[in-house]
Amino acid sequence: MILPVILAGGSGTRLWPLSRALYPKQLISLVDRHTMLQNTILRLDGLAGADKPVVICNDEYRFMVAEQLRQIDIQADSIILEPVGRNTAPALAVAAIRAMETGGDPVLLVLPADHHIQLTAEFRRMIESGHAYAQAGRMITFGIVPDKPETGYGYIKMGDPLPSAGGDATAVRIAAFVEKPDLATARRYVASKAYCWNSGMFMFRASQVVKELDRFVPDIVAACREAIEEGRSDLDFFRLDKAAFAACPSDSIDYAVMEKTDSGAMLPMGAGWNDLGSWEALWQVGEKDDLNNVVKGDVVLHDVGDSYLHAEHRLIAAVGLKDHIVVETSDAVMISPRDRVQDVKGLVDQLKSQNREETRTHKRVYRPWGTVDQLVAGNRFQVNRITVKPGGVLSLQRHFNRSEHWIVVRGSAQVTKADEQLLLKEDSSTYISAGMAHRLENPGKIPLELIEVQTGGYIGEDDITRLEDLYGRHRQEA
């Protein structure tokens, strides 16, 4: 059996302003109508022997991950929540230990959730070969055959070929893992045809990776076992114990195991792979117009070439640009020459040092029941558009510093106000005074949309006390 393990915890700061700390690139639709997480799972369709996936993500992404799986009719085997990020070695230790708790010993197929792969059939063929080697005791990493010098990836040097394990492709021994090179070195690597890019995709038996982790980094295994033992199930999720997991050393599976084990091997893959780690990468894989531009959204161009322009909320009108990136969202515009997009991370670091909210979240915030779009914010007031999916139920809650006025613009709303129950239709409204217990539900079959006007001396999201919640959120949690 193949158990897909989807790693969905990264932040993707080089794709700011689309990617944010609370809305990272793996949860965004960048290439087609599906998000990167959804595409990672959908490309496994038809893979022989594949079980339901395990998804490992940050606790703050949990409802977005669950909703995105629901949208593509995927029932995960488990959604494991990391209270803090600890890199790939602890994540895989957790996945392997939990997989073995059921009495089985599956082959883990480890896939980051933020990769783009154009040749799905070739990808599946390589996975099937990797499965054969993993069953034979090999710890497989997939190397990407480079088509150009690239300084943003680590490299793996190929060793001697290994005997066939029964699949179509032949694995090689790993001669060396190499850090990200400078451009001259990268050119030598590509010219030699002896190196592959390090993709971060792996296959190995659960028992084998636990054995090797216990051999080289036993403190990681011990911390992960404790985090699982002290963890708990919560709705569709499994929450690792925060104290135990926070005490776990942070390390990658490459450093912790793959560079040390004598069971490692690499399968060179040519499947149109890209990790979409920068705006330049999105320009490379995007569909281009006659002047080599990739255009998304409402964009009007005059004498613009070789550029990437992405409009989310407003018109972008550009004249005379060449080799540029322009990205617009509801609260930020980012402009960069294409050859400087690696510096976007430094820009985000600068914004973080200023405690700018634009690095954390968008104007649209996702909740387990729907979304909240901030429309206007001012001194002592804020206007939001609230969308509640059919059957969605907000928590029973109260605010001590603000009052709220709700106006239904689409659908129907079941409203609880203290001991009173109201059913509001389109073009009707209600007022909730500060301190009053209240709840909003959508009893209908279409999304409920309403305009919320908040007024008061303090309107921060932490002015909330939950009295009841279907989604297991804490009393003060958004």
In this structure, are residues 61 and 80 in contact, taking their beta carbons and an 8 Å threshold? no
Q: Same CATH topology for 2-274 and 364-468?
A: no
Give the start-to-end residue ranges of the domains of the chain: 2-274, 279-352, 364-468
| Domain 364-468, classified CATH 2.60.120.10, yes or no | yes
> Does 64 score more than 60 pLDDT?
yes
User: pLDDT tens across 244-276, in order?
Assistant: 999 999 999 999 999 999 999 999 999 999 988
Task: List, as one string, the DSSP characters of 376-445.
Answer: EEETTEEEEEEEE-TT-BPPEEE-SSEEEEEEEEES-EEEEETTEEEEE-TT-EEEE-TT--EEEE--SS
Q: How confident is the model at residue 230 (pLDDT cuts 50, 70, 90)?
A: very high
pLDDT in the model for residue 10: 77
Cα dist from 280 to 153, 200, 238, 326, 351, whole Å? 14, 20, 36, 11, 21
In this structure, are residues 108 and 205 in contact, taking their beta carbons and an 8 Å threshold? yes
> Does 475 score more than 80 pLDDT?
no
Q: How confident is the model at residue 49 (pLDDT cuts 50, 70, 90)?
A: confident
Return the percentage of the chain with pLDDT > 90, whole number. Answer: 86
Residue 467 one-letter amino acid:
L
pLDDT in the model for residue 477: 56
pLDDT in the model for residue 476: 52
pLDDT in the model for residue 166: 85
Average pLDDT, the chain: 94
Q: What is the mean pLDDT of residues 380-405?
A: 96
CATH topology of domain 2-274: Spore Coat Polysaccharide Biosynthesis Protein SpsA; Chain A (3.90.550)
Q: What is the mean pLDDT of residues 185-192?
A: 96
Name 163's bridge partners: none
Q: What is the distance between the alpha carbons of residues 369 and 357, in angstroms, rounded to a whole number?
A: 23
User: pLDDT tens across 140-151, in order?
Assistant: 999 999 999 988
pLDDT in the model for residue 436: 97
Q: How confident is the model at residue 342 (pLDDT cuts 50, 70, 90)?
A: confident
> Does 375 score more than 90 pLDDT?
yes
Lateral strand order in the sheet of 413-417: 420-424, 413-417, 438-441, 396-398, 465-468
Q: What is the mean pLDDT of residues 388-395?
A: 95
Look up the pTM and report it. Answer: 0.89
Q: How confident is the model at residue 162 (pLDDT cuts 50, 70, 90)?
A: very high
Least confident of 39-43, 163-167, 392-396: 163-167
Q: What is the mean pLDDT of residues 180-185?
A: 94
Measured in whole angstroms, the distance separating CA 269 from the mean position of its chain's CA atoms is 23
Q: What is the distance between the alpha carbons of residues 362 and 360, in angstroms, rounded to a whole number?
A: 7
User: pLDDT tens across 29-43, in order?
Assistant: 999 899 999 999 999
> Does 124 score more than 80 pLDDT?
yes
Q: What is the mean pLDDT of residues 403-421?
A: 96
Q: How confident is the model at residue 376 (pLDDT cuts 50, 70, 90)?
A: very high
> Does 440 score more than 60 pLDDT?
yes
